Amino acid sequence: MTKIILLIRHAENDVMYRRLAGRLPGVHLNRRGQQQALALARMLLGMPVQALYSSPLERAVETAEPLARALGLRIEMRPGLNEVDFGRWQGRSYKQLQRTQLWQVLQATPSRVRFPEGEALSDAQQRVVAELEDLAVEGMIACVTHADVIRLALLHYLNMALDDLHRLAIAPASLSAILVGERGPQVLFFNRTPDLEWPFFPSQGVNSGASPSRS
């Protein structure tokens, strides 16, 4: 039995690159993000997606909506696809976070990080992998979620260590695909964008040493 899981990062919003949105409500796609979501829907038009799942946060749902219309599917909210719980970090600017000792630990050894009053990255990874394995069915499903959630899932399926978190870049409105078959899981591709644009520049992304992934 072959299962394909499509992992889609939500599209762009105005909070990205300035503050850690986390699970804050009311973060919506900006105009560019809306265009990215439409482009993603066009890219996947005609694909045999059997079910469409989304994180409950607005920016994920708004990314899923054009895809739902294109594929004739209903969006099912799944709390297991929610963003990492960043606890008291949520809503703070990256400039503030970069001055904390925990930020330095996060850059060096993510496996040791538990966010204040929030999740440990190891717990978030277990949550997400369990959710994906619960959702996966024979055929293809699509899950709209968040950059760090996707990176944590990919690390698991690539058999990479949690401390390799920063080696994977996940752009807004990007697509990653995992195949689960008789030989076990394979990552078919990751971080594919509809327009093939270069997603990160030194001032705005994980390559600048900034993590979490500018959610």
**Looking at residues 161-173, what average pLDDT do you find?**
96
Q: Based on the residue annotation, tell me whether 10 is a catalytic residue of this protein.
A: yes
Cα dihedral 42→133→189→214 (10° resolution): 80
Residues contacting residue 184 through CB under 8 Å, at least 6 positions apart: none
**Looking at residues 82-91, what average pLDDT do you find?**
97
The answer on pLDDT for 21 being more than 90 is yes
Return the number of other C-beta atoms located less than 10 Å from residue 92's C-beta. Answer: 14
The answer on pLDDT for 69 being more than 80 is yes
- The tens digit of pLDDT for each residue in 109-119 reads 999 999 999 99
- pLDDT value for 184: 87
Q: Out of 12, 62, 83, 119, pick the active-site residue.
A: 83
Q: List the single range of 70-74, 80-84, 137-141, 155-159 with lowest mean pLDDT.
A: 137-141
Please state, in angstroms and rounded to a whole number, the distance separating the CA atoms of residues 34 and 215.
Answer: 16
Cα torsion 170, 129, 13, 207: sign? negative
β-bridge partners, 176:
7
β-bridge partners, 179:
4, 186
- Taking the complete model, does pTM exceed 0.75, yes or no? yes
All domains in the chain, ordered by first residue: 3-208 (3.40.50.1240)
CB 47 within 8 A of CB 140: yes
**In this structure, what token pair is assigned to residue 84?**
């990492």
The answer on pLDDT for 39 being more than 70 is yes
Residues contacting residue 181 through CB under 8 Å, at least 6 positions apart: 1, 2, 3
Instruction: Give the H or E element holding residue 30.
Output: none
The answer on pLDDT for 178 being more than 80 is yes
In the block, tokens 């904390």 appear at 100
Q: Indicate the SS3 state at residue 120.
A: strand
In the block, tokens 């066009």 appear at 42
Q: Which has more pLDDT, 199 or 159?
A: 159
Q: Based on the residue annotation, tell me whether 83 is a catalytic residue of this protein.
A: yes
Residue of 205, 139, 123, 140 lying closest to 175 (CA atoms): 140
- pLDDT value for 102: 97
What's the pLDDT band for 210 if we cut at 50, 70, 90?
very low
- Distance, first Cα to last Cα, the chain: 34
